[in-house]
Structures are given as structure tokens and as C-alpha cells.
Copies of this chain bind each other. A is one copy, B any other.
């Protein structure tokens, strides 16, 4: 079976070293030195906090967009992609009250979320984990994960700036940002 359910444990251990951490919107998470990404339920070392997310079906991507994404994207775990970023995000109640066509209009027609991501492929690989429906009161709705080579860090900065300037981001009420480097503990 494919693993769908992951945990992101912030603490003193894990493959990823935290080189920068900030709260972009809303309540911050306690500062940590390292991040341990594992299959949820796998015993992990002591941690300060843990965020869980599950890989789910696509909610907005349409047929032609997927074809473009699949043609251009590369997977996670590329040897040269030693930089990563974790962005836990919670959207407002107003977002979740929108109907599907209204959310799609904000997400892509007006914010160009898919097109922006596409324009940074294959350099910036991305994976989305869903949290909102794991339980009743999750701290975040999504955990967004990015991987890229050190030489593509400036491109990743531009990607973030573009997304955060979009109409979609008006619905983001809590967001943290972790910049990570993969190295031995």
C-alpha cells in the first residue's frame, strides 16, 4: 500500500535541519532545531510538536492542467534537492463556506495558483498534505512541502512572493514557514 499519512515532528532530531522559522500569519509554532518526517504512527524520537497530514485526491486541478504538471514535474528526494520548505497553512471559515466553483475561481482563475507552481517546475518540487479532515480541530488545513536545490532558493522566494500576493492568500489566517536543509544529524 502507498503511504498516505505522514507526520512532521519538530524537535531535536530528524533528517532536516531548520535554518529559518517564522510565523507569517497567526500564532507561531515553538522554535525547533530539526524536523523529522515519517509515516504517521511510526515511533519517533521526543519532539516539541507534531503536525499530521494525509495525501488525498486533487481538489482543483483539471484534466489539461494535470497533463502539463505531469509532463514537467519531478519527484521528491532528488539528490541535488537538499533544500526544503514546510508551510503549514490554515484558511478562514469564509474560504470553507465557498462552493466548489467559487473556490476554483479564487484559486486558479484569479490567483493562478496552478500556473504559478507550473512555471517553477521542475526546479521546485511540491507535495500537499491535507489536515483539515483528519479530526475535528486540527491546527492547520494543509501542510505544503517544497524541495529544491540550493541554487534555486531565489526562485523559491519568488514563488512564495507570487502566491502570497494572490487573492487566495486573503483567506489564509494562519501560516508558518520553515526553511530546511537535508544533512546528517
Contact = CB atoms under 8 A, between A and B. Distances in A.
A61 B1 CA distance: 31
Nearest to A53: B133
Contact of A66 (B54, B66, B99, B135): B99
Contacts of A130: 133
Quick one: copies of this chain in the complex? 2
B135 A5 contact: yes
Nearest to A131: B133
**Which of A4, A54, A102, A133: most chain B Cβ within 10 A?**
A133
A80 interface: no
A100 B61 CA distance: 6
**6 pairs of A and B residues whose beta carbons are closest in the complex:** A62-B101, A5-B136, A57-B96, A133-B133, A63-B99, A56-B133
